[in-house]
């Protein structure tokens, strides 16, 4: 599978948070999130391991009991079934990989 950059095709995950799946295989899924300043990604968990990279913006990321100040170039890995949330301090773009594939994120 190959993805050529295209600014269309994003869907609203929750208000102020847009998602686009870029590529996926049998075991992993890569997606991009575009998140508006002032948004809160509510605390949640899922069985998927989640690794991410902040392309632009600024966020506070909560993983379990830890808090992180996330700036462009920072990355994270969240084990499956661990509570996490994010507070978005600036318009942000994050790229994340999920394993196994999140069926709900398939195009």
pLDDT in tens, 4-41: 999 999 999 999 999 999 999 999 999 999 999 999 99
What is the C-alpha separation between 24 and 107, in angstroms, rounded? Answer: 10
Q: Which domains does the chain have, with CATH numbers?
A: 13-93 (2.60.120.10)
pLDDT at 41: 94
Pairing of strands 17-24, 11-14: antiparallel
Q: Residue 14 has which token pair?
A: 């929750």
pLDDT tens-digit series, residues 47-105: 999 999 999 999 999 999 999 999 999 999 999 999 999 999 999 999 999 999 999 99
State pTM to two decimals. 0.94
pLDDT at 107 over 90: no
Give 55's contacts (C-beta < 8 A, 6+ positions apart).
72, 92, 93, 94, 95
Is the distance from CB of 33 to CB of 19 less than 8 angstroms?
Answer: yes
Rg over alpha carbons for the chain, rounded to the nearest Å, is 13
pLDDT at 15: 94
């Amino acid at each position: 599978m190959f993805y050529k950059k295209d600014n269309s095709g994003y869907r609203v995950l929750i208000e102020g948070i847009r998602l686009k799946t870029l590529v996926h295989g049998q075991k992993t899924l890569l997606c991009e999130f575009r998140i508006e300043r002032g948004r809160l990604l509510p605390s949640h968990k899922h069985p998927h391991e989640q690794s991410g990279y902040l392309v632009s913006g600024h966020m506070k990321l909560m993983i379990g009991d830890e808090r992180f100040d996330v700036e462009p170039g920072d990355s994270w890995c969240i084990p499956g079934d661990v509570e996490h949330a994010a507070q978005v301090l600036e318009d942000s773009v994050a790229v994340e990989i999920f394993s196994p594939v999140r069926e709900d994120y398939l195009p």
